[in-house]
Amino acid sequence: MFKFTSSEVRDLIIAFIVISLCFAIVNAGRDVNAILSILPIVMVGVGAGFILHELGHKFVSMKYGYWAEFKLWPQGLLFALITSFFGFVFAAPGAVYTYANYMTDEINGKISIAGPIVNIILALIFLAIATSVYTSAFSSETSLLIFIICSVGYSINSFLAVFNLLPIGNLDGSKVLQWNLGIWIITIAIAAILTLASMTIGVENIVRLIIGI
């Protein structure tokens, strides 16, 4: 059964708020008014991306019969906040800990890859919604707001996917790579393409290419 402890809910909320603030700082600079303005928009993408990423790990862990619980990493949160002032976010606020006496590399890899796959799927969903409302965004403030929210959601989720797939330390990528090199290459390649497109072409130009204008 999918259960949460009170401390787990608390840790998820704290991490969600701080990571949202970090991405707002990256997008708005050090302008407090700009940060406050963009924060609600960023929270949609981060909320979906961060929470569902962690729930992906938890769901697969519990599917295999293990108890899994998200725990905050205060040092990671602080480091994320510090790096945000330098234009990027080292997004490691905590992790889902799976409690097991023994776990194969395959199961560990499948649990680890679940989070980044969730982010990739969310990025594509945000992009699809942004594409569907783009033409009406020129005449509707509601459509424009949805487009902006989805553009940010696409960028954040594609970044979270590629970041977590890096084979560094205790990040997901290390465990996926240990399990299956081919799957790791394919997954990080997809995430990297989505992220690079967001950073170089821009979401609006991606949408324009999709709809052919």
For 145-168, write each residue's pLDDT tens digit.
999 999 989 998 999 999 999 998
> Can you tell me the mean pLDDT for 29-41?
84
Provide the percentage of residues in the chain whose pLDDT is more than 90: 53
Predicted TM-score (pTM) of this structure: 0.89
Strand partners, 72: 94
Q: What is the CA radius of gyration of the chain?
A: 17
Residue 36 burial (C-beta neighbours within 10 Å; 0-12, 13-18, 19+): exposed
The encoded tokens of residue 72 equal: 């905050």
Distance between CA atoms of residues 193 and 55, nearest Å: 24
Confidence class for position 59, pLDDT limits 50, 70, 90: very high
DSSP string across 37-81: HHHHHHHHHHIIIIIHHHHHHHHHHHHTT-EEEEEE-HHHHHHHH
> Mean pLDDT over all residues of the chain?
90
User: In this model, does residue 85 exceed pLDDT 80?
Assistant: yes
Active site residue 54: yes
Helix (H) or strand (E) holding 98, with range, is strand 94-99
When pLDDT is cut at 50, 70 and 90, the band that residue 1 belongs to is low
Instruction: List the catalytic residue out of 54, 69, 141, 204.
Output: 54
Rounded distance, CA 134 to CA 142, Å?
11
